Amino acid sequence: MSRKSERTRQRIVEAANRLFYHKGYHNTSFTDVVNASGVPRGNIYYYFKSKGEIFHAAMAYRLGRIEQMLQSWTERYPTPLERLKRFLDLLPDSADALLQYGCPMGTINAELAKNDPTLHAEAREMFLRFEDWLTDQFAELGYAGRAREFARRLLARGQGISMVAHVYGDRRFLMRETKLLHHWLEQLASGEDQAEF
Amino acid sequence: MSRKSERTRQRIVEAANRLFYHKGYHNTSFTDVVNASGVPRGNIYYYFKSKGEIFHAAMAYRLGRIEQMLQSWTERYPTPLERLKRFLDLLPDSADALLQYGCPMGTINAELAKNDPTLHAEAREMFLRFEDWLTDQFAELGYAGRAREFARRLLARGQGISMVAHVYGDRRFLMRETKLLHHWLEQLASGEDQAEF
DNA sequence: GTCTATAATACGATAGAC
DNA sequence: GTCTATCGTATTATAGAC
């Protein structure tokens, strides 16, 4: 595959990925992808033979970025508390997009979990990567036995905050609730587990 | 409008409402509604002149049921703590549907908030009704100044739990996290606010 | 008010020239 | 590898007989 064709393919993937986030999967048409990517209509079928395959490529692209991000956090921050707090910073850092389109991971999963098991399994992988990484951090923090429980709980808290902030368009809510999660993590790190959350 | 035509109209609304929940709005076709309602094809256009109008009717239907439910809780349970705990019982009570299709209120809002402002405004009304009712209960519990904050937080917690339980298909998570929320409410009712959550 | 037939368009996908 | 023209189907929506 030539360098130019790789770039074309990547243009399609990134355009489709953006549209799937901004409009949802079912509400994104082939024509949308064609227009957004600038690639001639039939040409897309040279790279992907169906809409499902484009989705597959978009999820692979996202997974790569997520893994890259998590790995960079692991390298940059020496303590699990710092890493977990960096994770929480995703919320304020991407507040604009979250308010307008919701969580890129949560909204696509909620849409496809209804009745597209194959596509949903690919979308769910994003959750699993985050969960594994968060589990590692909670374990290193001293909660080995409950690390996965805490990880899943933290994901759910983030999803709830993103969802409600999105539905209400409420930036202050997003910021306020994120602070609460910081407090929780600090309590956990200091050994004061009584809050339980 | 005759009694029969009212029944026909209602059949359409209920079929569409169920489909919007089970498949999502954009993934529900007119043909789906025709098949599910048993009403002849063109006949639907006698009652609704567009898909958007069917959605409007479906949301009005849901809102009526929500208001009916909240009012019955207000009448049946004398204390705000009992009412709030009844609200939490929605999660285990509808666990089967939540695991398969997600929260009926959350998923439709997440889908339409992306880029359908008119339809989204109608879906958001459901959140507002719950929030107002929850706010009343927290106020009566003695947290007048923070009642709306607590109401929105409780909604977000429920949304996060529903979302993650849906994505993972994890019923035990749903049950476990709901218990945590019960503890929170009990702490609030007993005046031990230090947990903050 | 009810129903069938069908229009008009948008959809995902293909064929084939270059 | 690239691009245009177009296919067959599913979509929303209408016309008009009863």
Give pLDDT tens digits for A96-106: 999 999 999 99
Residues of A in contact with B22 (CB under 8 A): 114-115
Q: Which pLDDT tens digit goes with each residue over B24-33?
A: 999 999 999 9
Query: pLDDT at position B37, please?
Result: 94
pLDDT tens-digit series, residues B61-109 = 999 999 999 999 999 999 999 999 999 999 999 999 999 999 999 999 9
Nearest nt (C1') to A3 (CA)?
D1
pLDDT of the residue at B191: 86
How much of chain A, in percent, has pLDDT values that exceed 70? Answer: 97
Going from N- to C-terminal start, the domains of chain B cover 3-192
Tokens at A82, concatenated: 């710092």
Instruction: Judge: A113–B166 Cβ closer than 8 Å, yes or no.
Output: yes
Compute the mean pLDDT over every residue in chain A, rounded to the nearest whole number.
95
pLDDT tens-place string over residues A118-131: 999 999 999 999 99
Least CB-CB distance to A160: which of B157, B173, B180? Answer: B157
* Subunit contact B167:A127, Cβ cutoff 8 A: yes
pLDDT value at A196 more than 60: no
Query: What per-residue confidence (pLDDT) applies to A2?
Result: 73
Is A168 in Cβ contact with B156 (below 8 Å)?
Answer: no
CA distances from B104 to A101, A165, B19, B23, B98 (A): 18, 17, 11, 11, 8
Return the closest-CA partner of residue A158 out of B71, B34, B176, B160: B160
Alpha-carbon gap, residue A173 to B124, rounded angstroms: 16
- Judge whether residue A76 has pLDDT over 60: yes
Q: What pLDDT sits at residue B196? A: 56
pLDDT band at B1 (very low <50, low <70, confident <90, very high): low
Report CA(A47)–C1'(C16) in Å, whole number.
17
| Mean pLDDT estimate for chain B | 95
Non-local (6+) Cβ contacts of A22 within 8 A are: A101, B114, B115
User: Is B3-192 a CATH 1.10.357.10 domain?
Assistant: yes
Per-residue confidence (pLDDT) for residue A124, from 0 to 100: 98
Residue B109 contacts A, CB cutoff 8 Å: yes
Q: Is the C-beta atom of A50 closer than 7 angstroms to strand C?
A: yes
CATH of A55-191, one of 1.10.357.10, 3.40.640.10, 1.10.579.10, 1.10.3720.10: 1.10.357.10
Q: How confident is the model at residue B5 (pLDDT cuts 50, 70, 90)?
A: confident
pTM attached to this predicted model = 0.96
